[in-house]
Amino acid sequence: MADDIRILMCPPDHYDVDYVINPWMEGNIHKSSQERAVEQWKKLHQTIKECAIVDLVKPAKGWPDMVFTANAGLVLGENVVLSRFYHKERQGEEPYFKAWFEENGFTVYELPQDLPFEGAGDALFDREGRWLWAGYGFRSELDSHPYIAKWLDTEVVSLRLIDERFYHLDTCFCPLSGGYLLYYPPAFDAYSNRVIEMRIPPEKRIIVEELDAVNFACNAVNVNDIIIMNLVSRTLKDKLAGAGFTVRETPLTEFLKAGGAAKCLTLRVTEPILEDVHATVSIESRVIRMEGHLLDAGILNQALDLVVENSGSFRVLNFNLGVERNSTSSAEVRVSAPSHQIMEEIMTELIDLGAVPPPQELCDINTETVTQGGVAPDDFYVSTIYPTEVRVNCEWVQVTGQRMDAAIVVTSNPPSARCVLLRDLQVGDRVMVGVEGIRTIKKVESHEGGTRKENKEFAFMAAGVSSERRVELLVEQIAWEMRQIRDQGGKIVVTAGPVVIHTGGAQHLSHLVREGYVHALLGGNAIAVHDIEQATMGTSLGVDMQRGIPVRGGHRHHLKIINTVRRYGGIRQAVEAGFINKGVMYECVKNNIPYCLAGSIRDDGPLPDTEMNLVQAQSRYGELIQGADMILMLSSMLHSIGVGNMTPSGVKMVCVDINPAVVTKLSDRGSVESVGVVTDVGLFLSLLVRQLQQLTRPYSLSEAF
């Protein structure tokens, strides 16, 4: 009824598009007709007066956007949260709106000066009074929502806006009577859309298409069963009519030039209040600290983007910029998230970037005890490849056995922490849960992209993946590094697939084993079978390796090899008996190079050496990569990914594959020591061997000319 609903408006005496603070203002400076604006505003004013009481606030010269009274503040009962405008172009409106609220008997609450919140433009009450929808992302900060919940004693549901065209919540979202909702889903992130769908049943959600959305169909005034809005499509009008609403259209084209329509031009000062609804807010905030080359390495930008992309918000509390070329910077950032779940997701990723809580805020981690063997508690922390420390007894303790996708088991006396696979968890183990009290230790990267206090020869490995980069240049760098590792008593592990054999790479990989460049070999049943097939029968999968054509009956060769090796009892026995006298497996046996062949469901036979127990094969892989300085991954996606997951950061990794997707997947682990080479593995190995031979033979003066 008109007696129940009061709406505040401001005449457009000084309205114009004087500046640009949203996309709609672009190209419209001083292009709005004052005459038409007044005419359209009066029609809106009259239409609203037919169904509600309208109060007026006096416009002030120099503040053309005062006409958009929705942004004056947020009113519930006798209380109002005054707006803190994001842009300086509107901040001068605040005293005028404050004066009107106080003159009309409202208790005015004011947010901190540097905490933006733009009133009912970004905060809309459910028309049933059940909660407050609050937007953030462009004009209002998430951190304002707890203040609003407290001062207005209401539940706040936070929604993140992601389309700059819809910079205020009321431009794309309109709660309606009867629990209905008129909105444009693409304006929100995925999390916010899930929140909306959990609150509003499908039959109550009226989705607006883009054509209506950009005409500000959602920027509507709803009074009982009446919806007052700018011109809309017949389709949307029919949808609203089907839900029992009467649409009253009134053109507001002059105000669209400034990014507003019916709702923007009004502020409802009488909102429904339910006695059993009280202040609740799911927002969490945490302070993190980051240190390193935050700017030149892009770490800070990456962290802040990560927060926003995951539906969070941030405020930089302190930032100390390194004053010299090699100086590090530090920053303290308050991170906010709309829910505990989102905060945990954000913190997990921030930890991977080296973020930690201020040390004074945390003395110990949160743990839960394993009650069922092989099963971790809910919300257990999942380990990464990066060296990790956890807070135990008020001190940082290094996690041992670092790897991906494990739980962290801690003890207090003595303080210790170790990565443990889920299957290996035992009843009574204390497992870390949540993300508090954990930090990752990353190498400090210089602005050149290399690693400080490290040999720069491998700096190219931070350069990413490309099939267009000169393979020869990469091979030179890799060969040099391999030579250094070998000569210094280091360890190189090779993970290889059968493609190595098929592409003619067996002789080159054999050379690497023989010359001491391979200290462990990891693969599957297939690489051993086809290597032995080539060594003894000259074929690989029945294809003559010299002529490149299938031989008669060749499809049975691999099974004959498996059968013969099984008759001898294993690969070593077949070598000792003289059946195998060359090839990769031969060189491994002759040079006492340990190997592990992990089986799969596809394996024929398999060879006696193949470990068909997956758990045991994984464990053996883990043993063989311990202490590795480099892992060379040769055309074996599954084995390479498995090895990558159990390899800690700091190990140089080279992934070679003709398929860029495989290389990219390995590079995405995030290690700066990793490089992807997109090329034929046989060609790569031949180039690698040639380069290593050049490094070992005497220097010839003639080669310099």
As annotated, the active-site residues are 168, 264
Q: Is 215 helix (H, G, I), strand (E, B) or coil?
A: coil
**3-state secondary structure labels for all residues of 271-334:** CCCCCCCCCEECCEEEEEEEEECCCCCCHHHHHHHHHHHCCCEEEEEEEECCCCCCCCEEEEEE
Alpha helices in 106-216 (DSSP H): 145-152, 190-199, 210-213
Distance (Å, whole) CA 403 – CA 50: 69
Distance (Å, whole) CA 69 – CA 66: 6
Instruction: Quickly count: other Cβ atoms within 10 Å of residue 394's Cβ.
Output: 10
* One-letter identity of residue 410: V
C-alpha dist (Å) from residue 481 to 445, 484, 494, 594, 672: 20, 5, 15, 22, 15
CA atoms within 13 A on the CB side of 315: 15
The single-letter DSSP state of residue 247 is: E
Name residues whose C-beta falls within 8 Å of residue 547's C-beta, 6 or more positions apart in sequence.
none
Chain-centroid distance of CA 455 in Å reads: 31
Burial of 194 (0-12, 13-18, 19+ CB in 10 A): exposed
Residues paired with 356 in a beta bridge: 289
How many residues in total does the chain contain?
Answer: 705
Distance (Å, whole) CA 568 – CA 540: 21
Closest CA to 460 of 682, 677, 681, 684: 677
Strands 492-496 and 520-524, by their bridges, are parallel
